[in-house]
Structure formats: C-alpha cells, structure tokens
Amino acid sequence: MSKIKVAVIGGSGIYKLDAIKVKESIKVETPFGNPSAEIMICEVDGNEFYFLPRHGHGHHFTPTEVNYRANIFALKKLGADTILSISAVGSLQEQYAPKNFVVVDQFIDWTKGQRKRTFFDEGMVGHVSTANPVEKSLQERLYKHCKEADITTHLGGTYVCIEGPQFSTKAESQIYRSFGASVIGMTNVPEAYLAKEAGMAYSTVAMVTDYDCWKEEHCTVQEIMDVMKSNYVSVQRFIVKAIPDLVKNPIKFEAENKYAVMTDPKLLTEHHKAILEVVLK
C-alpha cells in the first residue's frame, strides 16, 4: 500500500500541470471496469500525490461516459483518502465572474439517471448520508490556498450538475438560478457521492469560465477557451501551495460509511466482499 493519501481529479483542460513532476503511471483494475486513465504519481517539491484526468487523456469521455465508480474505487484502492476535484463550471450568479474560483459545499443532482452512482447495488444495499457532501476542513483549507495564490475565490456555494454534453437552454438556466445555485457543471455528481460512500474527504475547486446562458451577453467559444487558459495558470499557482500542505498536514475527518451496509452479511457474495474490502477500509 502506498503512503500517498492525496489525489487530484482534473477537469476540463487540466491534463498537464507544468508545476508538477510526473514520476510514473499506474494501471489499476477495479470491479467496475477501467478508470478514465492510468493514475499518475506526481510530485510538487518532493510531495507526492495521485493525479487522474477525469475525461481521459485528450478529453475523450463525455461527462456521462466517465466511469466514476472505477475512478473513485481505484484511488481508494491505492490508499488515497483525500480528493481534490478541479472542475470547469459556468456561473449562475453575477458575483461569480469568469476567472473566479468557487469552493463549493453543496450539490444538486440534475442528471437523468444514466450514470452508475453507487457501490452498493446488485444484491448489496448500503446507505450513506450526503447531507454534507464536501469535507468542511478540506474545503476551508483549499479556500485558504486559493487566496494565497491571489485568486479571486468564493467560499461556499451550490453546484448544480446536469447531464450534458449539451449546455443549458436559457429557460433551464433560469430555473437553476431560481434554485439559488451558484455554478453549473456536468461531472461532480456522482463523483462526490461515491467519494462519500468510500469514506474519503472530498472538495471541489470550481473554476468559472462563463455566465452559462442566462446573462444577455454573447460569449464565443474562443473567449471561453481564453478564460480556461487563464484558469489553468491560476490553478497551477494554487496546486503548488495546496499539495505540500495537504501532504504534510493531512486532513482529519470521520468517515461516514462504517455502518452503511444494510444487507445481511450471509447474503454477501465474494464480489460484494471484494468491493467492501476496499470501500470500507
């Protein structure tokens, strides 16, 4: 078992971080198929962490095609217990401007039921609370490092997750705004919920690229790409500060999955037990 406890799951445009050194790549097998890519062991100033490109190298998985269960399971199997999610999002509120970061604390699941979203199925039933899907101490730590990196960052907010790959209609965008949601994306559910089921600390740094489509202003693809490039530079400054701290001063938290499984142990198959051996360890 590796001593590495911190993992970064990179979102759109975050495939190569110049600030880090890639040491090696590991192929991890899971009961749920293959993760999005081989998991990289990376290093920042001698501090090792795992990095996994959510959409695969070259961005070839749609948000729905991402194998979220395999991704989270593989990281837990390797020994990670802390996940930093980096995600590109649209803003649903005026105050969250392009190039701003939002360290969210809540999610609204607006996907269509096409995604495999739990480790507890096929004859094994388990329940884990997602009332607080983000680990607060991790969220606060990430916010601090964003500020240290001189990034305009907002602490707290709600991320509404849609199915994609299409962006919202204006009518849909107004509905999400009426929820009081802060940002909109396509990937953090069920990722955050699976991390909760696996007893891992999870938090998202959401990088705002645009105002979705609710705001009456034209935004070209090129303009969005320019913002993403700027966010890419900002996130490197953030990573250089966050990773060494998370490695040297691990997040302390209480896993909430210990008593998740409701199924009679006598009914659990070897397949179930193999999953629980990793998820509950």
Residues with a catalytic annotation lie at 210, 212
Packed helices 188-197 and 68-77: angle between N→C axes, nearest 10 degrees: 40
What b/e string do you get for 245-257 counting C-beta neighbours within 10 Å, with b at 16 or more? Answer: bbbeeebebebeb
Token pair belonging to 199: 């007893």
Helix H or strand E segment including 178: helix 170-178
Residue type for position 260? A
Measured distance CA(85)–CA(67) in Å, rounded: 15
> What's the distance, CA 123 to chain centroid?
28
Among 102, 103, 105, which residue's Cα sits nearest to residue 135? 105
Which residue's entry shows tokens 């070209």? 220
CB-based burial, 202-226: b 16+ in 10 Å, e otherwise: bbbbbbbbbbbbbbeeebeeeeeee
Alpha helices, DSSP H, located in 36-169: 68-77, 136-148
